Every structure is written in C-alpha cells, then in structure tokens.
Amino acid sequence: MPDAVLRYGDKELTLPVHTGTHGDAAIDISKLRAELGLVTLDSGLGNTAEGEGSISFIDGEAGLLSYRGYPIEQLAEHASFLEVAYLLQYGELPTPTELEAYEESVRRHTLIREDMKHLFEAFPHNAHPMQILASAVSALATYYPDALNPLDEEAVDISARRLIAKTPTMVAWSYKYRVSQPYIYPDNTHDYASNFLKMMFSVPAEEYTPDPVVAKALNLLLVLHADHGQNCSSSAVRLVGSSHSNIFSSVAAGIHALAGPLHGGANQAVLEMLEDLHQNGTSVETAVKRAKDKNDPFRLMGFGHRVYKNFDPRARILKKQADEVLDALGIDDPLLDLARELEEVALNDDYFVERKLYPNVDFYSGIIYRAIGFPADMFTVLFAIGRLPGWISQFRELLADPATRIFRPRQLYVGPATRDYVPLDQR
C-alpha cells in the first residue's frame, strides 16, 4: 500500500500505511506531532484504530463478522461457547483433548467463596444486576492476590478460567438472593449453559432438568456475543489494562461500559420499548416517526451501529433463532411480531435507509432471553457473560504486545486562556 503524504503549510510529511488481512488500511500517525506539531481530532474514535488486532474481524459494509477467521455463522451452527472461548483466547480451535481439558479446568472453578453471599446480600433487592456483577468481578480480585500480575501469563490464564467459570455462579446467586430463593450450587455434570440454567431456575424442592432447546439457544446467544473488536466495553477493558491494572478490574470497567443503553444496555431497552409500544397500542408507524423526530429523544433501540452499515449478522441469526425457540417452547409472544413489524417498516423508511440503520445484535436477543425466563434487567448481564472471553482475549492481546503503551490520548484545548487568580473579596 503506498504511503500517505500530508501537506501542512510549507511542510510535507510521508506517513506509512499499514494493510490488514482483508485489505483494510491504516495511516500510521505516530510521527505526526513530532514532525508537524499536529494531533488528530476524531470524536467517538470512529476513524481511529487504537492498534492492530487479530481476534475478530468486522466488515461493516458487507455485514460480516468472524472470530479468528471463522465466520460467525459457522461458529453459531457448530461451536460450543467454551470452544469459542478457547478459540478467542488461544487463537485456534481446540482439538478434542484440548477442549476436554479446557472444559474440565473451567468446571473445576465454578464454585465461588461462600462469603461472596455477604456481597450479594449487601445490595437492595432492586439493585440492577449489572451494578452487582461489576462489584462481584472486582471483588474476585481480592480473593486471588497472588494471581493479579497482568504480565504473568500463568496468572492471567488462571484468572481468565476463574472469570469464565465463576461469573454464571455469581450471576445466578445474586438472582437467587433477589428472589429470596435458596442458592443453587454448580452441578458439573452439566455443560456450561445447562449448569447456568439450573443455578438460575431450579429450586431444591423439585427435580430440574435443563431443557436442551433452551440450553442450545443460550449457548448460541453466548457464542454470538463473545467478541466484537474494539467496541466501547472492550476498549474500556484495554484502556484500564494498559495501566497494568489486573484483569478483574479491567473486566469490571468493561461491565460498566456495557451497561450503557447505547451499548449492551440496549437489549433491555429494546424489550422495554416493545412492551411500551404494545401496552399503549402505539403503532409501529408512530414509533418510527418519533425515532426520526430530532426533537423527540425516542430512538429505535436495537437499531443502528457504529460499524455495521448493513444487517448485523448476529441479528440475522437471532431473528431466525427467536422463531425456533418460541415455537419449541410453545410461546406466542406478541412482542416478536411487533419487532418484526417494526423492522419491516424501518427498513423501508428513507430516514433509516439513508443512514444505513439496521437491526443490531440487541434487537432480537431480549425476546429470546425473555422466552427462556430471564427478567429484562438481567439481559445485559447475559450479554456480559457472553462477552467475557472477548474482553479477556482483548486484555491478553494488549498485555502480550511488548509495544503496548499506557493509553493517554491528547485533547485540543479550547478552554480559557491563561489568566490571574482573582482574590475572593474582588469577585
């Protein structure tokens, strides 16, 4: 790829251009300030690559996503969540022996310290599950003080397995406290998704067998959420990790970023939007009209994306999956019909077409989570469980790169010019 040449005043600077696997290119501006005294301005960082990455690739124009080169459609069809967690972290699909060893190592860490119950019981019953999850993940760091060094590969590896193993247990236990039911311990005879379902929905008084249809749907949802490049929450994990903060603190930062309604919090907001439209009998035409009105803060949640200017491939898969899960469970959810109608009207409206606003991963996921039985305010926590291997892989990739430096962006200062202090009695 030819270099770029930047002309500024009477100066000219040649900037190297790096090329990615799929032909995408990036101008290296690391010499810009030293040579021309300039920095770049890119609000929201939509045109800025923070670094090179090898974990997932997104072609926003074509609506394509792959993890370590494997198309999401194929992984969604064939892979288990732990298989994908292995792939994202170690770069290759595991052999049967590697997968069995990885699954066994995760199974061995599904228990959490008994005293974590005091943490969950310290929260009000209506605490948002994302706030509790971020606190619990931060708290994990306090139990493993000897395995916090982010530059110690072994420490990071065991911490990664603990995070992936213990998070479903922490989520289920905080839920059980909220609904005043007994804590259900992990049962390692089950696979990852089934174990989580049992901890969430079983009670000691009755036999509980996880529904294989539901377990398969949950596995798919976790796979689809596993990684997505430098999204807001993964960038938060990398930024905190760049200061050599430990992996638990970095992932906790990612959880807080994901909680925002513009990001992972959108899956809860989509369901609340659909319920509101359904309960008030608002037509989809009215909803679309409101979403286009700049004076109306209403947005079509689950629509639009910084990178996808085409259908989010995950939304395409989930749209189909929603049908299958609801049919298999014999659920006729009017919100699914409403979502479909909303999508249809929006995708034929110039405002959405011109801006290339399509359904994203959050548009259909909530309908499936609801069919499984999760409360709406837990949907983003489910997104977080799925995104854990992605956050962990991004953290590991960053810390393994010797060229990594602490993140410290510049700003263009437009505040007051230098001025003298005015004594209080003269103001």
Active site residues per annotation: 305, 362
Q: What is the per-residue binding string for ligand SDX in 71-110, x denoting contact by CB under 6 A? A: ----------------------------------------
Phi-psi group of 244: left, alpha or beta (phi > 0 → left; psi -120 to 50 → alpha; rest → beta)? left
Q: Kindly state the smallest distance separating residue 318's Cβ from ligand SDX, in Å.
A: 12
| CA distance linking residue 198 with residue 146, whole number of Å | 32
| CA distance linking residue 257 with residue 83, whole number of Å | 26
Residue 251 makes contact with ligand SDX by CB under 6 A? no
* Closer residue to ligand SDX, CB minimum distance, 173 or 383: 383
* Closer residue to ligand SDX, CB minimum distance, 43 or 418: 43
Q: Kindly state the smallest distance separating residue 314's Cβ from ligand SDX, in Å.
A: 7
Q: Which of 175, 201, 303, 395 binds ligand SDX (CB under 6 A)?
A: 303
Q: Kindly state the smallest distance separating residue 81's Cβ from ligand SDX, in Å.
A: 15
Residue 339 makes contact with ligand SDX by CB under 6 A? no
Residue 231 makes contact with ligand SDX by CB under 6 A? yes
Q: Which of 300, 318, 322, 326 binds ligand SDX (CB under 6 A)?
A: 300
Residue 44 makes contact with ligand SDX by CB under 6 A? yes
Measured CA distances, 314 to 104, 248, 322, 350, 372 (Å): 29, 27, 12, 24, 19
Q: Which of 302, 313, 366, 389 binds ligand SDX (CB under 6 A)?
A: 302
Phi-psi group of 273: left, alpha or beta (phi > 0 → left; psi -120 to 50 → alpha; rest → beta)? alpha
In sign, the C-alpha dihedral spanning 327, 329, 330, 336 is negative
Q: Kindly state the smallest distance separating residue 359's Cβ from ligand SDX, in Å.
A: 9
Tokens of residue 140, six digits: 């994990």
Q: Kindly state the smallest distance separating residue 291's Cβ from ligand SDX, in Å.
A: 4
| CA distance linking residue 303 with residue 346, whole number of Å | 9
Q: Which of 301, 326, 381, 384 binds ligand SDX (CB under 6 A)?
A: 301
Residue 313 makes contact with ligand SDX by CB under 6 A? no
Q: What is the Cα 78 distance to its own chain's centre?
A: 21
Amino acid at 109: H
Residues 340-359 that bind ligand SDX (CB under 6 A): 355, 357
* Closer residue to ligand SDX, CB minimum distance, 197 or 271: 271
Q: How many positions of this chain bind ligand SDX (CB under 6 A)?
A: 22
Residue 331 makes contact with ligand SDX by CB under 6 A? no
Residue 256 makes contact with ligand SDX by CB under 6 A? no
Residues 262-291 that bind ligand SDX (CB under 6 A): 262-264, 266, 291
Q: Which of 244, 256, 299, 340 binds ligand SDX (CB under 6 A)?
A: 299
The residue count of the chain comes to 427
Strands 64-67 and 56-59: antiparallel
Helix (H) or strand (E) holding 280: helix 266-280
Exposure pattern of 320-350 as b/e (b: 16+ CB <10 Å)? ebbeebbeebeeebebbebbbebbebbeebe
| CA distance linking residue 227 with residue 370, whole number of Å | 23
Residue 304 makes contact with ligand SDX by CB under 6 A? yes
Tokens of residue 166, six digits: 């213990």
Measured CA distances, 206 to 168, 193, 202 (Å): 21, 20, 7
Residue 366 makes contact with ligand SDX by CB under 6 A? no
Interface with ligand SDX by CB under 6 A: which range of 26-34, 131-139, 204-212, 304-312?
A: 304-312
Query: 186 in helix, strand or coil?
Result: coil
| CA distance linking residue 111 with residue 121, whole number of Å | 18
Binding residues (CB under 6 A) for ligand SDX: these are: 44, 228, 231, 262-264, 266, 291, 299-307, 355, 357, 360-362
